[in-house]
Structure 1
């Protein structure tokens, strides 16, 4: 199937903006990307001609952004039951099943969430898709995917600034005593294990907020939000306080019948990087 370069249209909501002001001041696009767009003459005015970057533009002017050299390398793989919960020309939010990785370890790898997304994108006629955050293989739930390089850059910066709220639901071993709280323990690598992390005084700052949803006989269902996004953060934090996630045998949880641990990314909230619309996807 022939695929098209990532493209989107944007209608100006302010009077007198130049393209340079829009990119650098309003969207805070990186200098490298701005330079590439300028050199490639990738922005067009309503007549279809390359736009004048210095000319002040009227409110309501529609600009077309193109990215002729932008393409993702994920091997497209039948998306099967890929569940896309929200989508526009800039990004999509889809559900990753537990038990598959977010992305392959090498360019020709398959069997991951992003292979399924790439098939979906190509079916729509696109060729660019990059995940904004990742979930552990055993964690299911929502992942935000950028559909062009500007969206990717803006969303990456929003993640760094903690402007994307991620909410998780987990079932942890035992009965938590506190109804709510915050876990503030730095996380670093476990030098005795290739993939495991641990609470370490020399680790990176990690903050997890939680509250109890339900107390079961031998476990507790909690909702958690992250101020930081360290590898295995929720898993490490609750293991550290003696309540590992049910099924998470790497961190001391008891094995479940299906082999998956009970952690799901259930909600994501953020201001749309382009339209500024407040989005909450559950």
Structure 2
């Protein structure tokens, strides 16, 4: 999609040669991949403008035309704002990437949960005057730390969700696991489903959802390893399940057979996030360094 500038409730940009000669409705739906319902409502409410005037879906585009869309309407935050420490790794008009500490829930799973990452992002939005619903694009387990992506308006959310579904958002994790690897790298393609013997645990199951994890051993220690993992899918507990399935549970991950050797929580961190920006096709790479407790663990293993 073209680079867009946010001005109040409107996004505006200039159509390029690659966007010319198409019916505008087709351009928005099929090339820019806006949701059909969103496109229908925008045209119905005369909130798509070319050169400052409302147009119909069948209008044929020309290079150099200014397009404006009213897609950034003020919204309630959707969750109670909480003021607290929030480490922002990247931000622009359309998206926000923050560092989630270990031990903090990403979003409330019960009414009693009043201190989650979503609550802190809501508080940040309130402080910054951002009138938008809090929308996380993907999730991390409570005891996993690292980079989390948020959308700052509904259209950005729809486009980022589509990129996530198509595996166009690359999420890289670092894990410290038990054991010695015989292969330095590989791909785990094993479906994941619920474990009917445990309320929260997952397991590799033929009837589960497709799940693909790519791994590479970064460092092999005496009886542990530092492993980089990249996800093609985003199943609950995916890395934890897949590495345990290989016989290499995460250090500190008691649910999947790991022991607390040098760390009291599962040794998993979302270290890197890469994506093509939904507005402008700019490549974004955000690094999130290992937290102190994992750096201490690394030093211990090296020693």
TM-score of the two chains, using structure 2 as the length reference: 0.82
C-alpha distance in 2, partners of 1:220/1:130?
35
1:90 aligns with 2:94: yes
| SS, match of residue 175 in structure 2 | strand
Task: Give the C-alpha shift of residue 146 in structure 1.
Answer: 0.9
Corresponding residue for residue 166 of structure 1? 171
Q: 2:207 aligns with which of 202, 207, 214?
A: 202
Query: In structure 2, what is the equivalent of residue 74 of structure 1?
Result: 79
Partner of residue 114 from structure 1, selected from 115, 118, 122: 118
Q: Which residue of 2 aligns with 1:130?
A: 135
Change (3 A) 1:78 1:106: same
- Secondary structure of residue in 2 paired with 1:122: helix
Tell me, which stretches of 5 or more residues in structure 2 are unaligned? 1-6, 288-303
Change (3 A) 1:277 1:267: same
The answer on 1:11 being equivalent to 2:14 is yes
> How many residue pairs end up in the alignment?
277
Matches within 5 A, 1:96-245: 96-105=100-109, 109-128=113-132, 129-245=134-250
Q: Structure 1 residues 109, 166: CA separation in 2 closer, same or farther (over 3 Å shift)?
A: same
2:255 corresponds, among 247, 250, 254, to 250
Task: List gaps (5 residues or longer) in structure 1.
Answer: none
8 Å contact from structure 1 (residues 5, 127) kept in 2:
no
Secondary structure in 2 matching 1:178: coil
Offset of 1:175 from its aligned partner? 2.0
- The DSSP-based 3-state class of the residue aligned with 1:155 is helix
- Deviation of residue 255 (structure 1)? 2.2
Q: 1:276 matched to which residue of 2?
A: 281
Q: CA deviation at 1:259?
A: 2.7
Distance 2:9 2:224 in 1: 47
